[in-house]
Amino acid sequence: MESILAELEFRVRQALVNCFGDGCRDVEPQVRLSQDERFGDYQSNCAMGLGKKLGKKPRELAREIVDGLDVAELCEPPDIAGPGFINFRLKPSAIAARLQSIPPAPREGVDRMGVKTATEPITVVVDMSSPNLAKEMHVGHLRSTILGDCVARILEFKGHQVHRINHVGDWGTQFGMLVTHLRNTRPEVLGNLDQLRLPDLESFYVSAKAEFDRDPGFAAQARKAVTQLQGGDPETLRIWKAFCDESLRHCGAIYDRLDVRIENCGESFYNDLLPGVVEELLSKGLATISEGAVCVFLDGFVNREGNPLPMIVRKSDGGYNYATTDLTALKYRVEQLGARRIVYVVGVTQKQHLQMLFAAGRKAGWAPANVLTEHLAFGSVLGPDGRPFKTREGGTVKLKDLLDEAVFRARQVVESNEDDKAKARGLNEADRQRVAETVGMAAVRYFDLSHNLASDYKFNFDHMLAMEGNTAPYMLYAYARIRSIGRKAGVDYADIPADTPITLEHESELKLAKVLVRFPEVVSTVAGELHPNILTEYLYETSKAFSLFYDRVHGVRVIDAPPPARMSRLRLCDLAARTLRLGLGLLGIRTLEQM
């Protein structure tokens, strides 16, 4: 069994069937990590629910389960506590055996640390980032990009086929305005549109909008351009496409910097399919025409007055909506891409839209019951004052500026380390800049991922760049430190034979080992629940357990420990470093050998 948790679940399940018969085959074993180590490492709460079902006292049932349990090689004899909790304390020998079975890191390719891929890999779509191309990416897109990337990395690591889809907003009336503004202000580039460069998309949009509001002639031209776009006029489409390409170049620069891979497949991709989707809804009797608009009514969705809330899929003027495109994309992803799980990494403000989308998709049969549709709803990024994040002038903060500042500030951290005799690494200029770029990106990512998904958070450079606490610099430093211990000890961790015995005697040693052995279970949980902060929390726990293990007073000797403890401990160092490297890698963070 891959994790201790899975092993315990399996054993409890077996005991339930042995004790109470086949009727208990579906009873959940309810094994969890203990909150308080005084009670053991894991606990099962299954006796409580079962008490009602079988009409017996939970404590008696717990006794019967424990008597029927076969866990002797894994744990000490389980205790029963309170109303009927079953507590498990792992045997050090069992933990050591599991750690010892982790294969050595491959010289090349991904280190899996013994984590297996899913037995039934599926195709997953992660709908992520998805900015509106009319404008510059801003801090709101940061979360969708980073969270989506992390989720995609974890699902890929578990062996699933993942499409990371950038559902960019590249269609709609704004583009008529932008095309017109481009025609008027940049006539010289119309002949060679691939040369089009707009250093500042945001101000281009703002001035186009100002023209639109000021000049009725311009507004009329813009509306005509919209009709031309919809009608497929080649010249208008060419200008539109050049604009989108330039906007996508801006996004691409950010993705490169953040080390994010993504496939662009924006709203316009679905244009030709929209009429068919609406026709199908009508012919299946799922949509009705109301005041000229085509509407889908879904059970349970009402407006503020309590009246049924329609999902409008074709407006009375014949135009299509955001919802129509999303419905079409859903159908496409299931039918054409073969998706069995679709994860929408979208702000919580779009909750109702996505709920209606999923409900309509089910009803139409485009997202049948075997397709899991999920909204990974995230909260907003706030400014230091707790209000929506804005520049001092009240404008949107460009993502690019934010990343530049993170690197600038990370560079200051590097400089101050270099000024400190105890920490100085003697980095040259190029190294300093490289470290600053890595630390800056890592800080922004880690800070975002370490927050609870649904909560808003305050963007704060000082917090994300702190050397202490649950931050990227602390984690990167912990990793680099473990690597340097290996160098000081004169061993290449990769050369330590895999069958080196691990002995867990000292309390701090056992504590570290108990954290390390949980890695596969944490990865499984995160792949299921898609909450990256579970992983950041775990990695933080790992680095703290390592600090304690290596602590001069509370920990053990490592480099100058007598054999065979020395090799056992160096092996633990290696496993800790690999856990951090792999775990941070799943968060999209690269480690540094020196920091």
Scanning the structure block, which residue is given the tokens 């909790």? 85
- The Cα–Cα gap between 91 and 447 comes to 36
Q: Is 542 in the site for ligand ARG (CB under 6 A)?
A: no
- Residue 149 touches ligand ARG, criterion: CB under 6 A: no
Q: Does 440 bind ligand ARG (CB under 6 A)?
A: no
- 132 near ligand ARG, rule: CB under 6 A: yes
Residue nearest to ligand ARG (CB): 130
Query: Is the distance from CB of 125 to CB of 337 less than 8 angstroms?
Result: yes
Determine which residue in the list 41, 136, 326, 448 makes contact with ligand ARG, applying CB under 6 A: 326
Q: Is 361 in the site for ligand ARG (CB under 6 A)?
A: no
Q: How far is the CB of 389 from ligand ARG (least distance, A)?
A: 15
Dist CA 509 CA 24 (whole Å):
39
* C-alpha dihedral (189, 193, 199, 203), degrees to nearest 10: 70
Residue 34 or 380: the one with the smaller Cβ distance to ligand ARG is 380
Q: Decide whether 148 or 532 has the Cβ nearer to ligand ARG.
A: 148
Stretch that binds ligand ARG, among 127-135, 251-259, 285-293, 544-552 (CB under 6 A): 127-135
Nearest to 81 by CA among 91, 68, 66: 66
Shortest Cβ 168–ligand ARG spacing (Å) = 7
Helices (H) and strands (E) in the chain, counts: 20, 14
Nearer of residues 371 and 427 to ligand ARG, judged by Cβ: 371
User: Which 328-357 positions form the footprint of ligand ARG (CB under 6 A)?
Assistant: 344, 346
Residue 266 within binding range of ligand ARG, rule CB under 6 A: no
Region 417-436 residues binding ligand ARG, contact defined as CB under 6 A: none
Cis amide bond preceding 564, omega within 30: yes
Tokens of 395: 């404008």
The nearer residue to ligand ARG, 294 or 346, going by C-beta atoms, is: 346
Identify which range of 13-21, 125-133, 199-207, 307-315 contacts ligand ARG by CB under 6 A. Answer: 125-133
Nearest-5° Cα angle at 216, 212 to 217: 100
> Closer to ligand ARG at the Cβ: 47 or 262?
262
The structure tokens listed for 244 are 């989108």
Distances (CA, A) of 83 to 36, 58, 515: 17, 6, 28
Using the rule CB under 6 A, give the single segment among 58-66, 128-136, 255-263, 568-576 that binds ligand ARG: 128-136
Smallest separation, CB 326 to ligand ARG (Å): 5
Q: What letter represents residue 264's amino acid?
A: N
Checking DSSP bridges between strand 341-347 and strand 123-127, what pairing results, if any? parallel
At 410, which amino acid appears? A
Total site size for ligand ARG, rule CB under 6 A: 9
Residue placing its CB nearer to ligand ARG in the complex, 340 or 409:
340
Q: Which is nearer to ligand ARG, 246 or 326 (CB)?
A: 326
In angstroms, the CA 434 to CA 210 distance is 41
Separation of alpha carbons 344 and 354, rounded Å: 8
Least spacing, CB of residue 341 vs ligand ARG, in Å: 15
Piece of the chain touching ligand ARG by CB under 6 A; list 21-29, 123-131, 516-524, 570-578? 123-131
Structure tokens at 161: 């086929």
CB of 353 to ligand ARG, least distance (A): 7
Please, which residue, 371 or 572, has the CB nearer to ligand ARG?
371
| Separation between Cα atoms, residue 380 and residue 140, nearest integer Å | 7
What is each CA distance from 6 to 75, 384, 526, 549, in whole angstroms? 14, 42, 15, 27
Minimum distance, C-beta of residue 172 to ligand ARG, in the bound complex (Å): 10
Does residue number 130 form part of the binding site for ligand ARG (CB under 6 A)? yes
Closest to ligand ARG by CB, 24 vs 346, is 346
**Which region holds residue 113: left if phi is over 0, alpha if psi is between -120 and 50, else beta?**
left
Smallest distance from the beta carbon of 344 to ligand ARG, in angstroms? 6
Coil vs helix vs strand at 43: strand
Instruction: Report 161-200 residues binding ligand ARG (CB under 6 A).
Output: 167, 169
Decide whether 5 or 137 has the Cβ nearer to ligand ARG.
137
Q: Establish if 274 lies at the interface with ligand ARG (CB under 6 A).
A: no
Q: What is the DSSP string of 109-149?
A: S---TTPPPPSS--EEEEE----BTTS--BHHHHHHHHHHH
In which residue are the tokens 């600090």 written?
A: 547
Distance, in Å, from the CA atom of 516 to the CA atom of 584, rounded to the nearest integer, reads: 14
Report the residue number, 131 or 588, with the smaller CB distance to ligand ARG: 131
Nearer to ligand ARG, 158 or 167 (CB): 167
What's the min distance (Å) between Cβ of 451 and ligand ARG? 20
Strand pairing category for 293-302 and 287-290? antiparallel
Which of 127/246 has CB closer to ligand ARG? 127
Q: CA–CA distance from 524 to each of 120, 440, 545 (Å)?
A: 14, 29, 21
As measured in angstroms, the least distance from the Cβ of 165 to ligand ARG is 8
Site residues (vs ligand ARG, CB under 6 A): 127, 130-132, 167, 169, 326, 344, 346
